[in-house]
Structure 1
């Protein structure tokens, strides 16, 4: 495994040599003695962490060169982790640098144990941030017509859309509720020849049969009580464009017959009318039921099924899409955080693990609901499993192996400290580790030194 990259900027060559010797075992160390060489090294290596002395030539007794170097690094990478190394009399300058964007500051001569812990913590945070940015970039690169998917199943769906969008043949989209069937239908429309024509959608299972017929085919004035004027139906409205029929399996037998006739002849009659009306709307249908089983059970016409299922694609449930879960969640988090003025939010490790373990019965729609609620309700910048309401029966996310190990370590460290009245030396000796290692454990486990 490659060592993390570290940049050391100091005009004193002896200090640089000593610090490089102390850090080289754990880091790939680059050096610079002035602003020009520091900027060149920073640009070339893009270190996770930079140690920066404020007093640089040609004015080593003032902080101007150091502050200018800090500013330049933050221009190149606004999330750069720059740790200021300053003399005792430069504390105000170091605080000024932190206010300008430095990550932390230490006083010279730096205690190497303390420096090692600060660097290690900074590298850990910088690594997490880079991974988050890579995930965001990957989500953008894997986006297709507002859909995100790196999984082989979704790439197959995207390929299907590219191939068939330019035709006018009917399409049947299969998949569980919440998998994004309407998004696929809209992608087919936007990539089709009639993308500037209407896209008209209707949920066949959400409207009573008596009203659905009028919605689809329209009605003449006086066709029934309340029909005070002629009304065009959605099939007529969608002429030249796309008609999306969601939950097509919910159509009554009578409406199945009328829809079949339209698909065969591209003509229909309004309710209460005799005039044959033409429409060249492309029909894209979707359902979450098995239409073949419905045909076998006599609930769905076989001839209508074959008319609708000229081209078929199936959307996978979210639980089967692997890394897509985190990709989609990350993009949703960015979008909702921007919408609610909470930029800079990220998922905590327990949230990522809980999302990957959840079965997602509501699919992408459920994920969207949970992420949006979490953005609003989270107390800080980190979205936890609790914020997502993804907890087990005991109210906690299931622990990972790492968390279980850390829990045992924390119990042993705190117990040793209690037994020895807070003595680091005695507690470390009891556990059979060195003082620096004990300090490192305390820092990792967030145990206060006092």
Structure 2
């Protein structure tokens, strides 16, 4: 288990989480989806012709992905409009990226930061490059599982040096092509293992047949997102949900088309703002909420409604309204695990206990999220217990204190949610939200009218 005690290498800056003196009433424009942006970048880089990615997210994770692809020879041209709030970022607002594929080449060094999509999606791309590609990142990235991708790529014909760790740092010795074919993997610790292989599979000589063997596969909506986006760029994919064999995905070899793709708002990053409506008994509208999407965040409509609110989807977006009461919930979050921190924060403020199930894999995310949530909520006076695959939360009166984040963006936003109802909560290193949600503190205070 990852140590979730405060560490000397963590940022010590404390951000006073704003306390809500009344019901919020706001419209919040959420930047683009990290998951869609990074998948779109990879597919465009592997295409046979240039493509566009419009309204991309500009955050640490997506900028790491873009820079890594540039390092491998891909051209990414950005158009910037600093007056737009659609996709705000720390160094300007990206309205569109034009991606121009090129021959992938090494030697190269890729900094993955602590981005799961970068550390897992790019090794298969590197196997198609001509030359060695070295991968390294933040200290936490060395602890996150990568064995599913490494072992699978070796079966498919790649040569990888990882000193037997099954984790970073490592070097992929690209040979300019990869045989591909059938492979079995245990992706129970991360669905990204499956997505990583599928995204590059059209460029493998034989395509790929990925067979998941192991415990229940988490975060299936993210695999559905990968499959949908592959089909948009012309790939042929057979999957379980369209009559295929259970836990088996097949991608045929083919050229990929350059497309003009507009990135949806990141619905998981909308979570803290919707939670604000629930916690304060207010109302928040998220513009451009899609009527159909594969994003896990869409489950918030049902989950937060069950916890005491109501929502309406119109052409203006999704409007969520709280009632002033929060109810506990018993819910299986195995497909939408990334929503767990925000749901746990709301549950800690509810009028009845909650059980969050199916998320044992969160122990392997940016931090051990189950241990971190338990520790931080309990230190504010809560009563949270880890279970084998989740959390048991019994609401108690909470008090102020420091809420540590462990370099985890979703821990920071969870603390901010609690701070709406509990005076004196201070978030340590709120800047970590820049991983996927640039300028969160400004967005949060503007929502509250502070």
TM-score normalized by the length of structure 1:
0.23
User: What TM-score does the superposition give when structure 2 sets the normalisation length?
Assistant: 0.23
Higher strand share: 2
Q: Which has the larger radius of gyration?
A: 1
Higher relative contact order (CA 8 A, sep 6+): 2
